[in-house]
Amino acid sequence: MTEAKVLNISKLNIKYKNSSNSSFIKDISFDIIKGEVITVIGESGSGKSTLAKALTGLLPPSAAVAGNLTISEVEDYVLPGTNTVWSAIRGTRITYVFQDAQQALNPILTVQQHFKETLLSKGINENEYLKISKQYLSFLNFSDIDRILSSYAFQLSGGMSQRVCIALAICTEPDLLIADEITSALDTVSQNDVIKLLRKARDQLGMSIMFITHDLKLAKDFSDRILVMHDGEIVERGAYQKLQSSATTALVRDMIGIIERQKKDNSQLQQISNIPSPQVLVEVNNIFKEFDNFQVLNNLSIEIYEKEIFGLFGESGCGKSTLAKILAGLQSYDSGQIFFLGEDFAEVSKKLKRKLYSKVQFVFQNERGCLNPRRKIIDIVQEPLRYLKLHAKDEMKDIAKKCLASVGIDEKYFSRRSPELSTGQCQRVALAKALVVNPRFLILDEITSALDIRTKYDILDLLINIFQREDIAMLMISHDLSALDYVCHRIGHMKNGKISRVFVGRERLGNTISDSKTLPY
């Protein structure tokens, strides 16, 4: 059976003018069939976003694009197209939705004005656009449409703005919707909502969807076909089942292996002692924090025990990063108390505070950004020792070396710099830098969210390894429930600046949390 092809791209090559001679995207050809969900998957830097942007002419002028684009089997274009060509394609044929919805909306326009400029550009008249906008907003399950229409982007939550963006993208009824990592800034519950809505758009409007992600698990059930990209090339293509049975590249086999392993739920956590010791390490009582008239933390209290990994999730903007920064002493709080090892943070002297804080370490999401590209790895790891003056000078290097080895960094990398390391290795170095001062409490802020699935589980395994070895408690913040699931003893759900519920015990995993019905959204 031959289905109608919405789009065909052949021999797509993209080169960046000021970089080296090799093409960034090499000879890519594929087509998209009407009503199909096609997923492009790959690690960061594999070229999947560049590919998608090339399909809408959204690349900056420094990218040299070559190739042929056929739309609906009749309209042939040679890339790079002219602006006239693109303005005929964009919106009507192909629309692109971005990862960060907050950034994708014009901060000074209301949602209604966004719809107006979109629909009027497509020849809808002034009288009708409002009706159409309401229709699409209700299609995307918004209930209080009038309030949404008069809102600005900063008044919407992450999930809501992403839904608004999708509504804006589909209200011109394009044939193909390109969704570029649109779920990766969202928590799992909003992620599921957005996926459901995309599916609804496909089923009811007959739209094709090109879904770009680094998360195979997300793509698995949702997509008809999967294209796996690596280094600017498509290395595997086919349905998930086909990839499962016949994938040849190690990368794809690994990704699939991890998903399947997870299904069986043989995570190593069971080896960790089941009951955390009842000794309280960090106690937070009634913390309040206000930013620009916005109550970020609102009467928040938690206790974290010694030898425990506590997970924390919640929508972006719910205050979880603020809490983490306060616990690490990077931010002040308005009122409340924090006890660490029984000492009140507010009471201790400045000198003692610094000593206390050396027992709290922090690892960030953007591991590469934390490592100075001009310094050697071994020096970076020694920095905290130097700052805190905990050891004699000649010992420092040995301690740093030992620490790097313990996080699985090979000796040959010690004198290299961060740009020469892979993302996973950078994250390991960041962990080593935190562990080198023997902290009692480690805060991990979204440390796995930029990683591809294989590296993610490597890092999670490393965390479990560290946990078993050291006398340490961890607070792990993530919007990725599967990662929390994998390592945490208890998982807290944060909402409106406080912990709304704590999930305890192993039986909750995979059942209660992932099922959005039980969540108080």
Partner 1 sequence: MGRLKVNKNPNLTIFLGIFILIMIVISCTFANAIAPFSPIEQNPVDRLKSPNLTHLMGTDQFGRDVFSRVLYGGRRTLVAALLATVVNTLLGTALGLIAGYYHGKLVDRIIMRIVDCLVAFPFIVLAMIITSLFGTGLVHLLIAIAIVWWIPFARLSRSVTLKYKEEPEILAAKVAGASDVIIMIRELLPRIFSPAFILATFKLGSLILSMSALSFFGLGAKPPTPEWGSMLSDSKAYFFQAPYLIIGICIFIFFTVLSLNLIGEGLRDKLDPFEIIEI
Partner 2 sequence: MSLRNKSIVSKLVETGVTLLLATLVLFIIINLAPGDPIRILLGTPEVASVNNQVYQEKYQELREAYHLDDSILVQYVAWMKNVLRFNLGDSFYTNQPVIIELGKRMPATLLLTIPAIIIQLTLGIGLGIISALKHNKTIDNLIRLFCVFLSSLPGFAISLMLLYLFAVRLKLYEISHTVSLMRLYLPTITLGIISSPALIRVVRSNMLEELGKQYTAFAIARGVKKRAVIRGALKNIMLPIMTLAAHSSVNLIGGSVIIESIFSWPGIGKYALDSILLRDYPVVQGYGFLMICIVIAINLLVELGYIFIDPRLKRPERKIRWGG
Total number of residues that touch partner 2 (CB under 8 A): 33
- Site for partner 2 contains 294 (CB under 8 A): yes
Class of residue 205 by CB neighbours under 10 A (exposed 0-12, middle 13-18, buried 19+): middle
Write down the least CB distance from residue 324 to partner 1, Å.
10
Q: Where are the beta strands (DSSP E) in 156-206?
A: 176-180
Question: Cβ distance 115 to 131 under 8 Å?
Answer: no
* 437 lies in the site for partner 1, by CB under 8 A: yes
Q: Work out which of 44, 82, 87, 245 binds partner 2, going by CB under 8 A.
A: 87
Is residue 115 close enough to count as binding partner 1 by CB under 8 A? no
- When CB distances are held under 5 to 8 angstroms depending on the partner's kind, the choice from partner 2, partner 1, none that residue 151 binds is none
Task: Pick one of 165, 296, 309, 363: the residue that binds partner 2 (CB under 8 A).
Answer: 165
As beta bridge partners, residue 302 has: 284
Which listed residue (433, 454, 456, 479) binds partner 1 by CB under 8 A?
433
Q: In terms of CB distance, is 19 or 106 closer to partner 2?
A: 106
Beta-bridged to residue 178, according to DSSP, are 96, 210
Phi-psi region of 492 (alpha: psi -120 to 50; beta: other; left: phi over 0): beta
What is the distance between the alpha carbons of residues 68 and 76, in angstroms, rounded to a whole number? 7
Q: Which of 3, 147, 154, 352 binds partner 2 (CB under 8 A)?
A: 154
Amino acid letter for position 6: V
3-state secondary structure of 75: strand
Q: Select from 399, 390, 334 the least CA-distant residue to 359.
A: 390
Q: For 366-386, what is the HEC assignment?
A: CHHHHCCCCCEHHHHHHHHHH
Closest among 247, 185, 184, 245 to 217, alpha carbons compared: 184
Work out which of 16, 30, 77, 152 binds partner 2, going by CB under 8 A.
152
Within 8 A by CB and 6+ apart from 518, the residues are 512
User: CB of 152: closest distance to partner 2 in angstroms?
Assistant: 6
* CA dist., res. 45 & res. 48, Å (int): 8
Q: Which option in partner 2, partner 1, none does residue 361 bind, with CB closer than 5 to 8 A by kind? A: partner 1
User: Which of 118, 161, 213, 361 contacts partner 1 by CB under 8 A?
Assistant: 361
| Least Å from the CB of residue 400 to partner 1 | 12
The one among 387, 405, 506, 518 contacting partner 1 by CB under 8 A:
387
Length of the chain measured in residues: 521
Q: Which part of the chain contacts partner 1 (CB under 8 A), choosing from 154-162, 203-211, 308-316, 369-377? A: 369-377
Footprint of partner 1 (CB under 8 A):
57-62, 83, 325, 328-330, 354, 357-358, 360-362, 364-366, 369-372, 383-384, 387-388, 430, 433-434, 437
Footprint of partner 2 (CB under 8 A):
56, 58, 61, 87, 90-92, 95-98, 100, 103-109, 117-118, 120-122, 152, 154, 165, 168-169, 172, 292-294
